[in-house]
A and B are shown apart, each in its own frame.
Chain A
Amino acid sequence: MVVISFICVLLRKFRNRNFTMKITYKSNPLIALLLVALFSANSFALDGGEKQDHQQHDGGQVDTKEEVEAYILHHLKDSHDFSLFSYTNSEGERKHFGFPLPIMLWTSKGFTAFMSSEFHHNDDGHVIVEKNGVKLAKIHGKIFELDQEATEVSFDDLHHATNAHKVFDISITKSVVGILIIGLLMLFWFSSLARQYKTKKIPTGFGRVLEPLVIYVRDEIAKPNIGAKNYRKFTGYLLTVFFFIWILNLVGLTPLGFNVTGQLAVTACLAIFTLIIYSFSGNKHYWGHIFWMPGVPVLIRPVLAIIELAGALLIKPFSLLVRLFANISAGHIVVMSLIAIMFTLKKDLTVGGATALSLLLSFFITLIEVLVAFLQAYIFTMLSALFIGMAVEEHEHH
């Protein structure tokens, strides 16, 4: 209860985001259907008119459908602070529990770095930080650089800043912290497993858990898809990606609130790595089949080349990046929506009923999400292995 309520109290701003959920619906129909069924009474469309005032009065509590919606969408995005929870004290003052993270920017005046605490948790562009001769504001998790003469951010009707532009932001965000922690953890776990083999044939302790997973990826993913001849040099990449995605998916289910594998930038990066690997290791048969497909009329070959090239360079990586992103995002949306039943259905079902329903549903969905966490890591790795296998496959008869 405590955990759930502080997650919900954690978030307060950001409600005007009209997040397009179509993609998540498409790629995860089961969960999306459930979501639609549960919230068919609730409108996803938000109008932020009187909400602004409402928020000021209740001290940032998240208890209406719109606020829950905004809260979830905010959670899905990367953040410049590592906030665990926030609350309002007796004087009506907002208190945040967490720690700031370093912001590193490439502005029009060069490189700038400072701690995120300088924005005082403001996320709607009202706090202006002046650094290195540039004025900076944080709007919906993005850092904007104000124009030279502007003193505060002005917004148009769609809530887009009119006198500020985005800067190149290489901050240590919450996602980067997650990546760093998981990366170091993986390095620690698996290098200690590797060290164990120097002294004994069979690992002990936690290594005994990790070893079968490594063997699983090697024997069930790498070997059958790439082939026994070539699998060895790609197994390192596949193992890294598998554990990276799986552990980050699982960490995303904890109250720490990471959503690393639900970041487009992260999944895009992973998909592009796979693209580069299979493109550079493709043999001449692979490229021959793309540019000059044997066995079809010559006139059709250029048309096929365009289709094949689009498939190899765009569709394959795009399917990888969208599948992972959408599944993880959908999972987070569903789990948080079900937790939010506690508040949104309070009036209809009484506090006890709403809490019981929320606990029951979110418990089972979380179990499913644990499965999805593994499944998505498996699918990403398996498809990467499959694409690599197609690129390095030996063709004997042609």
Chain B
Amino acid sequence: MEQLLNDFSPGLFVVQTILLLGLILLMVKFAWKPILNSLNDREEGIQSALDAAEKAKLEMENLQADNQKLLKEARAERETMLKEAREMKNKMIEDAKGEAEDQANKIIKQAQEAIKSEKKAAMSELKNHVAGLSLEIAEKVVRDELSNKDKQLELVEKMLGEESLTEA
């Protein structure tokens, strides 16, 4: 112990104290402060970059999900639109078909009626014509017959004879 105390150099202690104090102050000012600040900044930068990347990933996922949803909706809408259109087409065809049939039937009916009435008219005209013609002929025959007395008597005779025969 005495030897140790003897070896202890107060001068070296003082010099070391001054030098160490100077070294600490200089190192803190010129080395440790800028180094630790830069390390901190860098670590914070890395952390925020990682956070941002994570956030971007989440956003991307959301966006993708949205897109998927939109796509699904669009597809469903297209389906319904196509379905509606098909239905409409069918209905239209159906309607058109019905209407056309009605129209055709109506036209046919009208035509038939027209034909009927025409036929009636023609028939009545023909009847009238035939009646006139018959009257004319009858008039001519009658006039002719009446002009010859003998013949008329003969005829009456004949007619009477025929009558008696029949009764007999």
A interface residues with partner B (beta carbon < 8 Å): 17-20, 23, 77-78, 142, 168-173, 175-176, 179-180, 183, 186-187, 190-191, 193-195, 197, 201, 211, 214-215, 218, 232, 235-237, 239-240, 244, 263-266, 268-270, 272-273
* Complex: chain B residue closest to A277, CB-CB: B24
B35 to chain A, nearest CB (A): 5
* Contact indicator per residue, chain B 14-26, by CB within 8 Å of chain A (1) or not (0): 1111011011101
Contact partners of B28 in chain A: CB under 8 A:
236-237, 240
Is there an interface contact between A269 and B17, defined as CB atoms closer than 8 Å? yes
B165 within 8 A of A: no
Is there an interface contact between B23 and A183, defined as CB atoms closer than 8 Å? yes
Is there an interface contact between A239 and B16, defined as CB atoms closer than 8 Å? no
B39 within 8 A of A: yes
Contact partners of A169 in chain B: CB under 8 A:
9-12
Contact partners of A263 in chain B: CB under 8 A:
9, 12
B interface residues with partner A (beta carbon < 8 Å): 1, 3-4, 7-17, 19-20, 22-24, 26-28, 30-36, 38-39, 42, 45
B117 to chain A, nearest CB (A): 108
A–B pairs, 9, beta carbons within 8 Å: A77-B7, A168-B10, A173-B9, A173-B12, A183-B19, A214-B36, A244-B20, A264-B8, A266-B12
Q: Complex Cα distance A114/B70, Å?
A: 92
Contact partners of B1 in chain A: CB under 8 A:
20
Is there an interface contact between B16 and A269, defined as CB atoms closer than 8 Å? yes
Is there an interface contact between B27 and A239, defined as CB atoms closer than 8 Å? yes
Task: Please report whether the interface of chain A is mostly helix, strand, loop or mixed according to DSSP.
Answer: helix
CB-based A-B contact count at 8 angstroms: 123
Is there an interface contact between A214 and B27, defined as CB atoms closer than 8 Å? no
Is there an interface contact between B27 and A186, defined as CB atoms closer than 8 Å? yes
Q: Which of B7, B31, B34, B45 is the one whose CB lies under 8 Å from A187?
A: B31
Contact partners of B20 in chain A: CB under 8 A:
179, 240, 244, 269-270, 273
Contact partners of B36 in chain A: CB under 8 A:
214, 218, 232, 235-236
| Given A168-B10, A180-B19, A194 contacting B3 (CB threshold 8 A) | no
Q: Taking each of A175, A237, A240, A268, which has the highest tally of chain B beta carbons within 10 Å of its own beta carbon? A: A240
| Given A176-B19, A236-B27, A237-B24, A19 contacting B35 (CB threshold 8 A) | no
Is there an interface contact between A171 and B16, defined as CB atoms closer than 8 Å? no
A23 to chain B, nearest CB (A): 7
Q: Complex Cα distance A180/B30, Å?
A: 17
Q: Complex Cα distance A190/B34, Å?
A: 10
Contact partners of A170 in chain B: CB under 8 A:
11, 14-15
* Complex: chain A residue closest to B26, CB-CB: A187
Is there an interface contact between B27 and A187, defined as CB atoms closer than 8 Å? yes
B22 to chain A, nearest CB (A): 8
A6 to chain B, nearest CB (A): 25
Q: Complex Cα distance A194/B11, Å?
A: 33
| Given A236-B27, A237-B24, A244-B23, A190 contacting B32 (CB threshold 8 A) | yes
Q: Complex Cα distance A78/B11, Å?
A: 11
Contact partners of A77 in chain B: CB under 8 A:
7
B156 to chain A, nearest CB (A): 155
B149 to chain A, nearest CB (A): 158
Is there an interface contact between A190 and B35, defined as CB atoms closer than 8 Å? yes
Contact partners of A270 in chain B: CB under 8 A:
20
Q: Complex Cα distance A201/B39, Å?
A: 9
Contact partners of A173 in chain B: CB under 8 A:
9, 12
Known: A190-B35, A264-B4, A265-B8. 16 other contacts (CB 8 A): A23-B4, A78-B12, A168-B10, A186-B27, A187-B23, A190-B32, A193-B31, A235-B36, A236-B36, A265-B12, A266-B16, A269-B16, A269-B17, A270-B20, A273-B20, A273-B24
Is there an interface contact between B30 and A194, defined as CB atoms closer than 8 Å? yes
| Given A218-B36, A235-B32, A190 contacting B10 (CB threshold 8 A) | no
| Given A20-B4, A194-B30, A237-B24, A214 contacting B35 (CB threshold 8 A) | yes
Is there an interface contact between B15 and A187, defined as CB atoms closer than 8 Å? no
